[in-house]
Chains A and B, each alone.
Chain A
Amino acid sequence: MNADRITEKLNILADAAKYDVSCASSGSKRKNENKGLGNASNGICHSYTEDGRCVSLLKILLTNHCIFDCAYCVSRKSNDIQRAAFTVQEVVDLTINFYRRNYIEGLFLSSGIFKDADYTMERLVRIAKKLRTEHDFNGYIHLKSIPGASDELMLEAGLYADRLSVNLEMPTEAGLKLLAPDKNRQDMIDPMQFLKDEIILRKDEKKLFKKAPMFAPAGQSTQVIIGATPETDQQVLQSANYFYKSFNLKRVYYSGYVPVLADKRLPALNTDVPMVRENRLYQADWLMRFYGFNVNEIVNQQQPLLDLDIDPKLSWAIRNMQAFPIDINKADLHLILRVPGIGVLSAQKIISARKYEKLNWDQLKKIGVSVNRARYFITCNSQEFERRDLTGTNIKQFILAESQSKYLKNKPSQLNLF
């Protein structure tokens, strides 16, 4: 092994892959069979980068050679950068040796498009196949589905990979046309549709025959870049909601655009990464998936943008004061989940604990409720509760006054005159 050459390739191809934010290694049920190597189940973050993101998988490109010229991408054809390509064996060796040392949960393999879609996809599949069949590797494998690859290759990919993903790149078709004129949204949706149908089919098959092979057990995900094109949060979340509903996606990732290239269609190079907006989008995404919120309750024609100062749940609550206060000792779970300052775990604990006795503020605090936020919206087993007739704006001011958002330290919010 030529250590220097591998190191150089790894640096180039890991660097080019890092803008793909997904690093999930959960949701698969792959067991270690016949004393092979590894398993995949709940997902473990083995390390964290200095920007605070989880490192769970060996996330690399097979190559950063690419025939496309997408404006937002570092690997675009017209960008003058160093190019490199791994061989199949090199990726396999790296994966196995990192895995055996407990550095990673598995491999996340993506690639620039060289020659054509099938040629690229075939290489990705070959690596997954080799790991599974020749090395008895049961760790997690996430493969990119290359838009335009043939159904046969996608089928094979699903048999070896735990998760497959196609990046939508831009939240809307118009955004994509603007920045990636060579790419076609339909080409991305086709493999998604194909895999969705195939996953459902294989699941039914597995119910009948236990020995039926697993097919992409961790499902599909996608990623959209935000802040590179002028879409509103409403457009972003509506689009995410559509993909969750129509394609059973496990996750939609929102990647705040990191200005890496000068292009008049893109934000200037010195623009800040929209990290607060990204964070708010994830919070909204969680509300849709775990808190029973409908996308239109979070963003709509009147509120096309998420409030950057406060989280979307608090923002919804102060727009809907008529729904509060609720009695924590009586209300249904789905209402308790809507209270700012109460998360899913605390809500479940409340439901369990109140069967024994009525809960008071102290107990709620111990259970993990953030009482300084929740107190404006609930009553409990106590004579103390918010008696003033506060408006939503009052509450927002009170809460903002006592909590300092980690992101907004040096950026006081703009005066809101209306």
Chain B
Amino acid sequence: MTTLLYDGTFEGLLTAIFEIYDRKLNMVKLEKVEKYGSAMFEDVLKVITNEASAGRVLKGLRLKLSPNGLQRLYVAHMAEMPGEENNLVGYIRYAFDCKQNIEDDYGNRYVMRVSEIIRTVRREKHRMEAFVRFQKLKDGVYYAAVEPDFNVLPLLIRHFKSRYADQKWIIYDLKRNYGIYYDMHDTEFITLDFSTITKPGEIISAYTEDESIYQSLWKNYFHSVNIPARKNTKLHVRHIPRRYWKHLTEKI
């Protein structure tokens, strides 16, 4: 068993694949450098991300997978689900080792697992499209904070850009400490410094005057549409798990 340590990037993953084939390794384990503990009594290989090697693997993958299949692989990696690297490695190796395209081979554990990862990530992306709650700031920017389970912010750009084309907005991932800002032309990744805000009052004063009115109207609406005779808390919580509540205006 050889443990490969990589930097967590997609290029790093592809370089690792290159190393596996170049060195004819069979039993491998892939881990992120930062996650790796102390030196063990095992075979450890540090993968140094290399554009040329990654490029060669990518070229090979293009022959084995459809453009959509490759995109799915990229999304599955970007989600940063802990411990899933090895399934991605298994998937890529299986793709290279088979003559035909393997994307629909759901009887294979790696193909099935990647399909599950994609489904989970898509669901999280869809939840974010639903659960983002913008608040209007005085400078006209609509701001929303989120804490998604996986790294899905980059997947949200297209949806929000085409929907809110005529307003400036920020969607900020508090867990991963970065956000997307749209200035009515393009989007860019940004990092905000929250340490200068000391009192909660300073945040509230940044909102427009009608912000609290619309928030309270929305809360009222949310309660008015409920039919108490049909109460079904289990279903309610299944649709909106509690961990999302703190950023949902109607559930605060």
- Interfacial residues, chain A to chain B (CB-CB below 8 A): 1, 3, 6-7, 10-11, 14-15, 17-19, 31-32, 35-39, 44-55, 58-59, 94, 97-98, 100-103, 136, 256, 258-259, 273, 275, 349-350, 352-357, 359, 363, 366-367, 406
Contact = CB atoms under 8 A, between A and B. Distances in A.
Interface of B: 102, 104-109, 112, 126, 129-136, 142, 144, 162-167, 184, 210, 213-214, 216-218, 220-222, 224-236, 238-240, 248-250
Contacts of B134: 100-102
Contacts of B221: 10, 14, 58, 98
A356 B107 contact: yes
B235 A52 contact: yes
A6 B221 CA distance: 11
A139 to B, nearest CB: 8
Nearest to B160: A102
A241 to B, nearest CB: 26
Nearest to B185: A35
30 contacts: A1-B213, A3-B216, A7-B217, A11-B220, A31-B162, A32-B165, A35-B166, A36-B166, A37-B166, A38-B164, A44-B126, A46-B131, A47-B222, A50-B236, A51-B235, A52-B230, A52-B235, A52-B239, A53-B225, A53-B230, A58-B221, A100-B167, A273-B230, A352-B106, A355-B104, A356-B108, A363-B106, A363-B112, A366-B106, A367-B106
Contacts of A15: 224-225
A212 B230 CA distance: 44
Contact of B130 (A44, A100, A355): A44
B107 A359 contact: yes
B236 A51 contact: yes
Contacts of A50: 226, 228, 231-233, 236
A59 B107 contact: no
A356 B164 CA distance: 44
A367 B164 contact: no
Contact of A39 (B131, B132, B133, B162): B162
A362 B163 CA distance: 43
Contacts, number: 161
Given A31-B162, A50-B232, 19 more contacts: A3-B217, A15-B224, A18-B224, A38-B163, A46-B130, A49-B227, A49-B236, A50-B233, A52-B235, A55-B225, A59-B225, A98-B218, A101-B133, A258-B230, A352-B105, A355-B104, A356-B108, A357-B107, A367-B106
A385 B170 CA distance: 56
B225 A18 contact: yes
Nearest to A49: B226
A133 to B, nearest CB: 15
Nearest to A7: B220
A100 B164 contact: yes
A49 B132 CA distance: 17
A51 B230 contact: yes
A240 B120 CA distance: 35
A258 B126 contact: no
A236 B223 CA distance: 31
Contact of A47 (B105, B217, B234, B240): B240
A369 to B, nearest CB: 11
A103 B216 CA distance: 12
Contacts of B105: 352-353, 356-357
Given A14-B225, A352-B104, A35 B165 contact: yes
B133 A103 contact: yes
A39 B229 contact: no
B175 to A, nearest CB: 19
Contacts of A38: 163-164
A6 B214 CA distance: 10
A29 to B, nearest CB: 13
Contact of A366 (B112, B213, B238, B248): B112
B166 A101 contact: no
Which 10 A-B residue pairings sit nearest by Cβ, starting from the closest?
Answer: A52-B235, A352-B104, A353-B106, A51-B230, A14-B224, A48-B239, A52-B232, A356-B105, A49-B226, A35-B165
A49 B225 contact: yes
Contacts of B164: 37-38, 100, 102
B229 to A, nearest CB: 5
A3 B220 CA distance: 12
A17 B224 CA distance: 9
Contacts of A259: 229
A187 B202 CA distance: 58
A275 B230 contact: yes
A37 B165 contact: yes
A174 B136 CA distance: 52
Nearest to A138: B163
Contacts of B129: 44
A14 B219 CA distance: 12
Contacts of B107: 353-354, 356-357, 359, 363, 367
Contacts of A100: 134, 136, 142, 164, 167
A367 B214 contact: no
A10 B220 contact: yes
A42 B112 CA distance: 26
Contacts of A51: 226-228, 230-232, 235-236
B113 to A, nearest CB: 9
A80 B231 CA distance: 26
A365 to B, nearest CB: 10
B240 A1 contact: no
B217 A10 contact: yes
Contact of A273 (B131, B184, B220, B229): B229
Contacts of A349: 104, 106
A45 B225 CA distance: 14
A251 B217 CA distance: 30
Nearest to B227: A51
B106 A49 contact: no
